Each structure stands twice: as C-alpha cells, then as structure tokens.
Amino acid sequence: MNSNHPHHRADLVRIATLAMTERGLEPEFPARVEQQLETITGPGSEVGPDIHDLTALLWCSIDNEDSRDLDQLTVCELLDEDVVRLWVAIADVDVLVKKDSAIDEHALTNTTSVYTSARIFPMLPERLSTDLTSLNFSEDRLALVTEMVFNADASLAGATVYRARVRNQAKLDYDAVSAWIDGDAALPVAAAAVPGMEAQLRAQDDLAQRLRVRRRAEGALDLETFQPRAVFQGEQVVDIRQQVQNRARQLIEEVMIATNGCTARYLAGRGGASLRRVVRSPERWQRIVAVAEEYGETLPTEPDSKALEAFLAKRRLADPLRFPDLSLVIVRLMGSGEYVVETPGGPPSGHFGLAVRDYTHSTAPNRRFPDLITSRLLKAALADQAPPYSNTELADLALHCTRQEDAAQKVERRMRKSEAALLLESHIGQRFDAIVTGSTTDGIWVRIFTPPAEGKLVRGQTSLKVGDKVHVKLVATDVERGFIDFVTID
C-alpha cells in the first residue's frame, strides 16, 4: 500500500481537488467570476442616513491565527448593575456580491468554503473574502450590526439590527487571547497597542462565560469532537495537532450564537421567512439512552437535552481520554444539521444541540452562502423592501445548501485521513498506545494519541470493545485513499 516515493503538500492538494469534484463541488473559479472580479475596484462605499458611523468603537476580531477572511467584529459596554451592551458587526458581503451575479452563482454552487490543511477552497474569490469584503484591521467597512443588551443573569433584555460602518481596531487570534485570559501569556501586542482594549476583552470574556453557563443550564451540549489538522513546514507535513477548545473560542461561539438567535427573531418579527439552521430532536434517542446505560446512567425515554448534557458532563469528568469518542457517538446519533425555511405561524424548528429555539446562520457571509442569504433578507427588511427570495426559492436553497455543506464536510474528513497517512508513512513499524474507537462487522478502528490519528486494525485481537486501550504497530499507509493500518501487539 505504501508508495515508493514520499508524498508532499502538492499531493494533498491534488487529492483534495479530486475529492471536491467527485462530491459535486467546484474547486476552481470559472472565467466569468474572474471577469466580474476585474470590474470591482474597491470596498463597498454606500452612504445614507440608515448607515450608522460606529468606526470609533473599540472593535476587535478574534479568529484563527492564519485567518484572513474576517466576518465578524465584537465590542461591548458595561452598564449599571452588571448589564452589558454588546455589538456584533457582520461583514456586508452583499454590497459587492449581488444576487444572481457570476460571483454569486459560483458561491451558490459550493455554498461554503472548504478548509483542508494543504489548501483552502474559498467560496468567494480571495480578493473579496480576504480584502474587500473582509473586516480587516484599520479599514472602514460596511457591516450589519446586531446590538444586544444582556441582564446580569445573561438573559437578553433587548436587541436591534441596523447597518453601520465599522473599523477593526485589533486583529487577534484565539490561542494568543486565550493564553492571556488564562494567565499563561502577556496581552497580545495588537491588543496592547489599543488603549482600553484589555478591559474590553475582559468584559467580553466575562459576558461570554455568563452566556455559556446559562446555555448549559438550559441543556446546550458541550461536546468535544476529534478534528486534527496537519501542520506544514514548506511542502512537508511535520505534525498533526488537535484543535483545542479554549476561552477565546468560547467567547466567539457564545456571541455568535446570541447574534444568530437575534437575527432569526428579527426576521420573524418583521413577518418574513428565514433560513434556519436546525438539529432536530434526535429520532435515535433510544440508541442514545442505550449508550448511557452502558455507562450505568439512565436517561429519560423522551429526548431531553438537559439530561443528556448532565450525562456528558459527568463522563467528561470521569474519563477525559475517551470523551472525544463518546462525543462522536452522540453526534452521529443526533444526526447532522440541516437548513429549513421557517415562516411566521409555521411549525417551530429549533436546535437541539445548542438548546435554542431560534437559530439561523448569519455570522459568516464570506464563508457560507446561507449567511449571505440571511444578510440579504435582513437588508430588505431594514429597507422595508420585498424579500429577495420567495418562500419556494428559500426551500430549494435550504435543501441545496444542506447537501453541499454535507459534501464539503465529507471532503474535509477525507483529507484529514490523507494528511494523517502522509505524516505516518515514514513511521511504518513504529509502536503506539491507542484506544478502540469503533467496532463493527467491517472491522475495528483505533485512535493513537501522538500524533492524533485514526486507523484500522487489520490483524490482532478481535474481541476488543470501544474504549479498550491497546498497543498497536503501524504496518501500512495509503495517502491516496486515506488508509492507516495497524496490528495489535502484546
């Protein structure tokens, strides 16, 4: 199974490109997109009384260290009695990417950016997503702003949505901000350069943690998924690292969930349809109940997110090593998310995993097409104009976006396997500690810890159960197919 020559980054790009095509995604931009791009000379520059000037606020972005497609900015203000006013600005991509244009049609084909370690396949041309429609540092940009006020108990006191002009005062990254919050590093240089930014970040973190506690109490699931990514030095894969949840990621997650809820309710309040992101109440709840029984725990006979979260929290504390594998089992049994259209007076949808009733995708229009759709619906509602999409169009878009997002996720999972196989192809014969993550009629799968990677047992013990710890030896890899083969050893 091993090739006679080592693989490199270029091989992963080739494999990813082929995987994109096989899944019905377009890896390259067609000529008509490039032609339209040449006619765009600068960022959106609309003016009017409905566009607020918020450029003086202490906006900051927090994203991955290498992210250049910045969709959101945050800033907050402390009011009396622990009340907090929070502003979230979302890039106004629609100001340059008009409905039914060539760029829009391509974005609709893929509906999402596809992220692999070797290459990113952006939904929009990089001149837009990383420049003209990105909320870049020290640049004035148009945005849709959701202004929210939270009480001391993190309940929402009120919210409004409007258009504004904003300016990013500090481009920050998750790991650096989190290390500072945890007391393990100094305030990031980009934040230290802005007077008042340190207090601003403390206030945002405090609010996010209060929001997080409130959601957990209402049954939001705190899962830990296994999503390792390759690390490159030039053309060589030198490591694979698991993305770790931290305080800065929690900060952005909480304020984005809050924003998405307010967006959904705003559109509903205006009497319009919206494109909701839904994870339905699990149809395979009885299988989840059976999983809990394997750990000596009892769940209600009817779906109950609060009970499930209590079980998960207990298992995380009792066995953190195996918690990612339990999380994966629960995620699979819950079923994948989907997009649906919700109309006023229609049946409620809701997001079981987040424990929220109202939820849309609105915070990443540079990266996800449903968010761009929502942006257009919001702008039409703000301007008292007819919706840009009929309910029938929205229903078709919901189905299409669900299918394409599923295809994109399959490409990303496929590439994580090839990335791991590439790193491990020079380690044939090496021994590892591992844990069994799957056992079916098709075989037994194990996860090694350093580097974090999964593979199949092709020889050895056959009576192993999920969660068993084993010693294995790597015997083969196949980068092209993403296969990693182990055998058990004494």
For residue 101, is pLDDT > 60? yes
Higher-pLDDT residue of 321 and 91 is 91
217-259 per-position pLDDT tens digit = 888 777 777 677 888 888 888 888 877 789 999 999 999 999 9
Split at pLDDT 50, 70, 90, the class of 350 is low
Split at pLDDT 50, 70, 90, the class of 1 is very low
Among 8-17, 40-49, 251-260, 454-463, the range scoring the smallest mean pLDDT is 454-463
Give the mean model confidence (pLDDT) for residues 96-115. 97
For residue 282, give every residue at least 6 positions away whose Cβ sits within 8 Å of its Cβ, in sequence order, or none. 288, 303, 333, 334, 335, 352
For residue 212, give every residue at least 6 positions away whose Cβ sits within 8 Å of its Cβ, in sequence order, or none. 250, 254
Give the mean model confidence (pLDDT) for residues 57-79. 95
Q: What is the pLDDT of residue 4?
A: 52
For residue 125, is pLDDT > 80? yes
Split at pLDDT 50, 70, 90, the class of 486 is very high
For residue 330, is pLDDT > 90? no
Paired tokens of 18: 């082929």
For residue 386, is pLDDT > 70? yes
Q: What is the pLDDT of residue 17?
A: 97
Q: What is the pLDDT of residue 328?
A: 77
Paired tokens of 54: 């918020």
Backbone angles phi, psi at 213, to 5 degrees: -60, -45
Largest CA distance in the chain: 74
Q: What is the pLDDT of residue 449?
A: 85
Q: Percent of the chain having pLDDT more than 90?
A: 64
Higher-pLDDT residue of 457 and 352 is 457
For residue 3, is pLDDT > 70? no
Give the mean model confidence (pLDDT) for residues 308-335. 83
Higher-pLDDT residue of 222 and 172 is 172
**CA–CA dist 221, 217 (Å, integer):** 10
Mean pLDDT of the chain: 90
What is the residue extent of each domain of the chain? 9-279+339-421, 285-335, 427-489
Per-residue HEC secondary structure of the chain comes to CCCCCCCCHHHHHHHHHHHHHHCCCCCCCCHHHHHHHHCCCCCCCCCCCCEEECCCCCCEEEECCCCCCCCEEEEEEECHHHCEEEEEEEECHHHCCCCCCHHHHHHHHHCECEECCCCEECCCCHHHHHHHCCCCECCEEEEEEEEEEECCCCCEEEEEEEEEEEEECEEEEHHHHHHHHCCCCCCCHHHHCCCCHHHHHHHHHHHHHHHHHHHHHCCCCCCCCCCEEEEEECCEEEEEEECCCCHHHHHHHHHHHHHHHHHHHHHHHCCCCEEEEEECCCCCHHHHHHHHHHCCCCCCCCCCHHHHHHHHHHHHHHCCCCHHHHHHHHHHHHCCCEEEEECCCCCCCCECCCCECCCECCCCCCCEHHHHHHHHHHHHHHCCCCCCCCHHHHHHHHHHHHHHHHHHHHHHHHHHHHHHHHHHCCCCCCEEEEEEEEEECCEEEEEECCCCEEEEEEECCCCCCCCCEEEEEEEEEECCCCEEEEEEEC
For residue 207, is pLDDT > 80? yes
Q: What is the pLDDT of residue 462?
A: 75
Split at pLDDT 50, 70, 90, the class of 372 is very high
Strand partners, 233: 236
Q: Percent of the chain having pLDDT more than 70?
A: 96
Q: What is the pLDDT of residue 351?
A: 65
Higher-pLDDT residue of 218 and 126 is 126
| Strands 120-121 and 236-242, bridge-based pairing | unpaired
pTM: 0.90
Other CB atoms within 10 Å distance of the CB of residue 119: 18
Q: Which CATH class is domain 427-489?
A: mainly beta
For residue 35, is pLDDT > 90? yes
Among 307-311, 394-398, 475-479, the range scoring the smallest mean pLDDT is 307-311
